[in-house]
Structure 1
């Protein structure tokens, strides 16, 4: 039997004229599975409110949408044409609209408490070599002594070490983000690191003349400044990533594995066990198994792994357990499942990372048929 969480994606592609031949066959098979399926499909296409919302995609002010997107992402490294973006955004967002009108009928809407939980924000703690702790947030705008005579600048874009003293190679700073936080740092060589929630990055105030080394716990997106004479290393628990100039994402949240996803350039991953370095090409993921000390490399669609860096959550056939772990860190909430079976439900969709949590939970609830209840920063999940 065809799984429900693929249907809305196929119908969205059908409406946008982007359905592949294989997907069309699958959709037709699903429609023919039962009279009820055919009725649902026909009802969707004739649903007046859905038609109104779908028609809005044809009325989008593309340039305004692009400007809004750029303002939200605040990423100077992101490059894409606005016309391509709007088309791509429609492909990602329309499945949620389909899901709402396709699976929901009057009387079936799941209730949810009205408690508002805001998304994470730009905030971190800077730990200096001497043990001093400095709180950072989006409103910071001052010069910070970070080692010897070196100074860093804190601004709305993050903290920058571009004017670091070359004598401070033995001085280390550590950037800590809490649950519900994120922060960007521009290192002394010009490398930009976007640190996700509940993460830690340790780095020298000034890199040495031979190599550039940082230590990561949690998740971060790296846009490494090119320097062919000094390789850049990201060191995690059990794994080292080497490159000279490239963009990639490292995720160490799991106790079972570490994910390294390459967006552009080339990198090598080196296990501490002494096994050979494995090189990655753009569009590939290296998964390091912590217990086996092995690395497996696969071809992937990088979007779901790096979309957080540009202000979105993209879930591709993701389990509800993994999704809720992600939301737990970003919104600083606890999660409680009513039964173990709920953890294995799957969801596909794209949502704004800066929305309140209830709007994201509603989008998921419409698709996977669960109920969310929010009480004092705890999300309870039940049927």
Structure 2
């Protein structure tokens, strides 16, 4: 009965025509108590605001149909409406706090089994620590304006750190550096003294000088960041990341040091940049190109890419296009501050496409992936175990 009512609720909210029996069942449920009526109203609002992202980005209907077609190809037409309803019922259960949705097969029918698992895993949020050249540490959880010992002005408002260098001492040549550290499960935005904006992803560190030099603006990166560089023709902007130098005058690009820093991806959105690896090889990128620098490899691989797949994180969502689940889960590891274990080698190689909201509860994200019926997830504390679904065909 419980699965049946969610199926009816989903069909109703989706605008499907209900039978008289279904209308009566829904009315009885609504009349039971005020909590049910409030829940129904909340679901209506949620569906109206999010129906595009719920069904278009990871297509619930297609996932169910593809899964069933692999098993019962001859019965697809007869069961199409029922499968669609189950798909939307699965989406509805996400809204009401379901932890894990399991898709199981029983004889000749698909059945949805819902297990309520209370997860303490929440998405990342703005958090960072600024370590000044003097050794002072500022926890950026609190907003306000600070003046450091070197007279630098630091304004932290709305999760954006604005840095203004102090007065440069006459004859001073040695550069001193501040360090902005973003932990796992964190993100932050930084505005440098030259007006350059930097979005820093989880598990990232950025070292930048107390004051830029006269000939260049050089900073040091570990992790991933998106740069919108202020134009200064006389002072090129240089990002150094694990043996790779990326030079720009005024442009937008994303840099990610992946595979433990053994691979650096530079993705250009606007303008142009010059990439030089530690072997001395170099290339000039134009918009929608990506440079792949691998440790120990002499050359640089340049390829055309959909930049949105590599930059969407700063806009609040993740976009994937036939990406291995292993890579997807590594991304979620840093953002949710979790540890992922693959129980078998096959699961990590399965490929997925779609768009997931970055600030969604992880239960919802995993359930969306799970709707393909290819993998199962088990959550234990902050560890997620991934294994291939034994019913997968």
What TM-score does the superposition give when structure 1 sets the normalisation length? Answer: 0.73
- Secondary structure (helix, strand or coil) at the match of 1:261 reads strand
Contact kept, 8 Å, 1:316 with 1:349, in 2: the verdict is yes
The 1:112/1:340 distance shift into structure 2, 3 A limit, reads farther
Following superposition, the deviation at residue 163 of structure 1 comes to 6.0
Contact kept, 8 Å, 2:104 with 2:110, in 1: the verdict is no
Q: Deviations over 1:72-113 (max 9, x none)?
A: xxxxxxxxxxxxxxxxxxxxxxxxxxxx9x999742557573
Determine the structure 1 residue equivalent to 2:94.
Answer: none
The 1:297/1:48 distance shift into structure 2, 3 A limit, reads closer
Q: Matches of residues 205-354 of structure 1 in structure 2 within 5 Å?
A: 205-255=210-260, 256-275=262-281, 277-354=282-359
Which structure's relative contact order is higher, taking Cα pairs within 8 Å and 6+ residues apart?
A: 1
Which deviates the most, 252-261 or 157-166?
157-166
Between the aligned partners of 1:211 and 1:200, the Cα distance in structure 2 is 20
Contact kept, 8 Å, 2:133 with 2:210, in 1: the verdict is no
Following superposition, the deviation at residue 131 of structure 1 comes to 1.8
Q: Matches of residues 10-25 of structure 1 in structure 2 within 5 Å?
A: none
The 1:119/1:52 distance shift into structure 2, 3 A limit, reads closer
The 1:245/1:39 distance shift into structure 2, 3 A limit, reads farther
The match for 2:138 among 122, 134, 137 is 134
The 1:45/1:284 distance shift into structure 2, 3 A limit, reads farther
Between the aligned partners of 1:242 and 1:289, the Cα distance in structure 2 is 18
Determine the structure 1 residue equivalent to 2:11.
Answer: none
Which deviates the most, 372-381 or 349-358?
372-381
Contact kept, 8 Å, 1:211 with 1:232, in 2: the verdict is yes
The match for 1:185 among 190, 204, 210 is 190
The 1:207/1:345 distance shift into structure 2, 3 A limit, reads same
Determine the structure 2 residue equivalent to 1:165.
Answer: 167
Contact kept, 8 Å, 1:164 with 1:188, in 2: the verdict is no
The match for 1:150 among 141, 149, 152 is 152
Determine the structure 1 residue equivalent to 2:22.
Answer: none
Contact kept, 8 Å, 1:221 with 1:309, in 2: the verdict is yes
Contact kept, 8 Å, 1:111 with 1:371, in 2: the verdict is no
- Secondary structure (helix, strand or coil) at the match of 2:258 reads coil
Contact kept, 8 Å, 1:110 with 1:365, in 2: the verdict is no
Determine the structure 2 residue equivalent to 1:49.
Answer: 85
- Secondary structure (helix, strand or coil) at the match of 2:212 reads coil
Q: Matches of residues 51-130 of structure 1 in structure 2 within 5 Å?
A: 106-109=110-113, 111=115, 113-130=117-134
Contact kept, 8 Å, 1:195 with 1:221, in 2: the verdict is yes
The match for 1:359 among 359, 364, 377 is 364
Following superposition, the deviation at residue 42 of structure 1 comes to 7.1
Q: CA RMSD in A?
A: 3.0
Between the aligned partners of 2:376 and 2:327, the Cα distance in structure 1 is 17
Q: Name which one, 1 or 2, has greater alpha-carbon Rg.
A: 2
- Secondary structure (helix, strand or coil) at the match of 1:328 reads helix
Q: Deviations over 1:255-289 (max 9, x none)?
A: 331100001111110112222x2011111110001
What TM-score does the superposition give when structure 2 sets the normalisation length? Answer: 0.71
Between the aligned partners of 1:116 and 1:233, the Cα distance in structure 2 is 40
5+ unaligned residues in a row in structure 1: which ranges?
A: 1-11, 17-29, 54-99
